[in-house]
Amino acid sequence: MVDKYEMMNDFYFKYVSLDNHDVILSETRQYTLQEVKKITKPGFALLDDVQQFIIHCPIFYNWVKTQGLEISKVAVHILEPNTVGYLHKDGCSEQSYLALNMDMQNCAGTQTKFLVPLTEGKEFKTLNGALSYTVYEGADAFPEICFYDLEKPVIFNISQPHRVYNLKDTTRISLSIRFVNNPLHLINT
C-alpha cells in the first residue's frame, strides 16, 4: 500500500483561494514588512515569534483555524534584485512537507522553478539550527519540471527541489507558513 507521503512525490504546487484575500494580504504584509526591517541580510529567515504573528494577523489566523490547521513556523524569503537562488529542498517530515507562500513585496513576475537534480545534495542548517535544507550544485544544467509565479497564494511541496528566480530590479519578499500537519485538503479541492 502506498502512503500519502509517497503519493505526494509527484505534487509540486497549487494556487489556493483565501477568504478575505485582500484583507489577509494587507495585515500579513504590514506585520511581515515591519519584521523584515530587523533582518540584516537576504535569504531565508524564521520570524522570531509565531505568537506575535498570530496576534498581528488575526484575520489570516481565523482562516487558518477554519481550515483546521495550526501554524508551526513563519518565515520570510528575501531575494535581492537580479538574483537566482540556489536549488534546494527544505527539511520536512511526513506530517509537514507543504508550505503556504504569499507575496509580501515584488513577487509577481518572479518564478519558483522545480528542477530534477542530477547530483547529490549537501545538507545544511539555518543559522539558528531550527531548519535543515539540502543544496544542489550545478543547477543551471538540470531539467525543469514546472514553475509558478507567486502572484497569488500557493501551497507547495517543500520536499521537491526548487529555486527562485528574481530577474527584476526590485527585492522580492515572500512569506512562508509551515503547519504542524499538512493541509492536504487544500490540494485536493
- The pLDDT tens digits of the residues spanning 130-173 come to 678 899 998 888 999 999 999 999 999 999 999 999 999 999 99
Burial code (b: 16+ CB inside 10 Å, e: under 16) for 48-59 equals eebeebeebbeb
CB 86 within 8 A of CB 144: no
Record the cell numbers describing residue 110, joined without a space.
518572479
* Residue 11 within a domain: no
* Residue 2 within a domain: no
* Residue 3 within a domain: no
In which domain, by residue range, is 106 found? 16-187
Output the pTM of the full model: 0.90
| CATH code of residue 128 | 2.60.120.10
Number of domain units in the chain: 1
* Residue 161 within a domain: yes
**pLDDT tens track for 32-89:** 999 999 998 888 888 989 999 999 999 999 999 999 999 999 999 999 999 999 999 9
* Residue 160 within a domain: yes
Nearest to 134 by CA among 107, 171, 163: 163
